[in-house]
Amino acid sequence: MFRLKVNKWRFGTNLAGVRYATTTTTHGNHYQYLQNSKLPTLYFQRSLPRLPIPLLEKTCERFLAAVQPLLSAEEQRDTQQVVDQFRQGVGMELHARLKQSDEANKHTSYISQPWFDMYLSDRAPLPLNYNPLIVMRDDTRPAYQPQVTRATNLIISSLRFWRSLQANILEPEVYHMNPKKTNTDNYRRWMAISPKAFATYASYAFKAFPLDMSQYSRLFGTTRLPKLGKDELVQSADSKHILVMRRGNMYAMNVLDSSGYIESPSVILGRLKSILALDAQKQSASVPLGVLTTQQRDQWARARTHFVSNPKNADLLEREVDAALFCVCLDSEEDGMYNEADQVPLIKHQLAGKATNRWFDKSISLLISADGVAAVNFEHSWGDGVAVLRYFNEMYWDTQKQPFVSATSPHTPAEGDASNVRPLNFEIDDRTRADVEAAYAHNAEIVDSLDMNYLQYPHLTKGTCKHHGLSPDSIIQLAFQLAYRQAFKRYVGTYESCSTSAFRHGRTETMRPCTIATKAFCEAVLQPSQKQPSAVELRAMIDKCSIVHGQLTKEAAMGQGFDRHLFSLRHTAMLEGLPMPALFETEAYKRINYNIISTSTLGTDTVVAGAFGPVVKDGLGVGYSIQNEFAGAIVTSYKNQAQGKEFVDSLASAFEQILAIIEQSSKSAKAETRN
């Protein structure tokens, strides 16, 4: 499932200390490469530690602790018995087999292949179920915000990032505990003389933690192909073009020259303008093929098989669409524009919308509205938030620091240049037309059933939390628990993702924010006022919640959670045709994995919004952030399935209650000190 949360790993710091070559020609390093790192991009990859498989006993303990808030005392006792039997019996056998498999595949992690299999085998449609949305901060300079201008700069920055990655001169991804001390030339000099086999451990001595970069190679030129039963990822190593979509019409546009250099800014700008001019002369696509990528995956596989039975369609689809470096969707005014008073319509459109101007199978799609609002919608099977956020941040800051075109920049005319700007004219028969119509109707029905609610709470900020010595993430997760409990009178399975990219081929681990500590706090707050503990006592409970949250975060980041271990044990049983252990049939296991509240946060100033669909029909998809100005959340739900509006209203109340406790306890502490 999509979870962009990358606990504590911050991005954007790698720009410091990077030096560019002085040449300013379009074939010079300054233009062709985003960075010229002193350390090769994959310098630390060989020495990254392997993702540990937790002890079976610890996994069982953590599972029992996590399900306790969701179960009655009797259910907990029954679950304890099943877990004890699992730990002493079949669990030991499965654990041994998993360890044996892991030992035989030292080049990767125990979770990597099962996680790929999980994504690629799921038959659910990509939009809302998997593909997430990240909305970029606007360019506040009017000369750089217009659609075609911003698209050109974002394309160039994307290509500069990609070419740096290809040339192995993109800065390695490193989490610096103290960037001012370690994100320096001195640190890089010490790392450069460290043997590659031990470089990661040498970096640890500086309190700088290298992260896995194995997913980065699939950022560009990658497409998820629909196949019956299980999809396939394909990648083109020598692409020189991107896919551009406008009103459902599709164009292949070359962005690299015959030698593989990025075309000049005026050429890229001219080709984009020529596409807009071409498109203005025709109607919106009467059969928008991109809608097919919203289908259930087996349905799309069958539709695609028929479509490519026509050799011309097969050639165009494979050569121009599948092989494109990435997709650029230039939306028109009718698709919606930014409205500060109500951001929901545009975000909903970018997340899923009509899908007539999308190709959801591409690894990366840049979405740019008619007024220049930019976003990334990405296919999730190939990787997680570490790679996407790094690319997203570098692309944004590059366009801020050195945009290559403005609204007044001259362009190189490309009208009539059919070799570099190629309209994709597919041959569409009645079967494909019917497939598109059916896909459009089904997607429209799903999107119409999607409810989206947005909250900005200005009084609880990152600064507020830090001033009072509290973890911002633990506070906002506590607010989610309080909001759900007071609105719906129960506790439910809650999902928060944590990156395990500190390990080779790490993916994610699940954090379970609904704990005995959060439950105790919620129950105390919701007592009648005369029975409610004092503000100081409630603040102590908040501190306890924060400590527990921090410990769970640390365990997850170090590969010591329980979800991925149990997932892999279950996967091992299925893979080897063994009977499914009773543990995986318990109400406890089903309940905690039925994620009613699924959360994801984006810890970066370049992002103004993030959204994804609920992971279960009666659930809530909560994209949240706590910034210097506000705490905010975009909550998705399905109408008549879950009450997203009630949750958001309750969340505002939860923020108010938690803030009041923090402030009142602080006043009480100060008064006691004075006395």
Q: Which residues are catalytic?
A: 380
What is the torsion angle, in degrees rounded to the nearest 10, for the CA atoms of residue 319, residue 155, residue 249 and residue 420?
A: -60
- Structural element, H or E, at residue 394: helix 385-401
The DSSP symbol for 504 reads B
Pull the structure tokens for residue 523: 């129950």
Compute the distance between CA of residue 634 and CA of residue 621 in angstroms, rounded to an integer. Answer: 8
Asked whether the beta carbons of 451 and 644 are under 8 A apart, the reply is yes
Question: Three-state SS for 595?
Answer: strand
Question: Three-state SS for 638?
Answer: strand
Pull the structure tokens for residue 219: 């950022």
Tokens 């460290």: give the residue. Answer: 194
Amino acid at 119: Y
- Structural element, H or E, at residue 444: helix 430-448
Asked whether the beta carbons of 44 and 424 are under 8 A apart, the reply is no
| Interaxial angle between packed helices 385-401 and 147-166, expressed in degrees from 0 to 180 and rounded to the nearest 10 | 120
Pull the structure tokens for residue 119: 């994504």
Compute the distance between CA of residue 516 and CA of residue 66 in angstroms, rounded to an integer. Answer: 8
Amino acid at 488: F
Asked whether the beta carbons of 494 and 515 are under 8 A apart, the reply is no
Q: Return phi, psi of residue 164, to 5°.
A: -65, -40
Computed from CA positions of residues 126, 127, 130, 133, in that sequence, does the dihedral angle turn out positive or negative?
positive
642: left (phi over 0), alpha (psi -120 to 50) or beta: beta
Nearest partner of 627 among 507, 477, 464, 503, judged by Cα: 464
Q: Return phi, psi of residue 262, to 5°.
A: -65, 130
- Maximum Cα interatomic distance, the chain, rounded to a whole number of Å: 86
E-strand ranges in 561-662 read 595-601, 607-611, 620-626, 631-638
Nearest partner of 622 among 655, 599, 651, judged by Cα: 599
Tokens 């990156």: give the residue. Answer: 499
- Burial class of residue 22 in the structure, from the number of CB atoms within 10 Å of its CB (0-12 exposed, 13-18 middle, 19+ buried): exposed
Kindly report the CA angle at 384 between 572 and 43, in degrees rounded to 5? 100
Pull the structure tokens for residue 439: 């896909």
Tokens 């029905």: give the residue. Answer: 445
Nearest partner of 379 among 622, 120, 166, judged by Cα: 120
Q: Which residues contact 298 (CB under 8 A, 6 or more apart)?
A: 123, 226, 228, 229
Compute the distance between CA of residue 210 and CA of residue 661 in angstroms, rounded to an integer. Answer: 39
Q: Which residues contact 663 (CB under 8 A, 6 or more apart)?
A: none
| Interaxial angle between packed helices 56-67 and 73-88, expressed in degrees from 0 to 180 and rounded to the nearest 10 | 170
Compute the distance between CA of residue 242 and CA of residue 319 in angstroms, rounded to an integer. Answer: 11
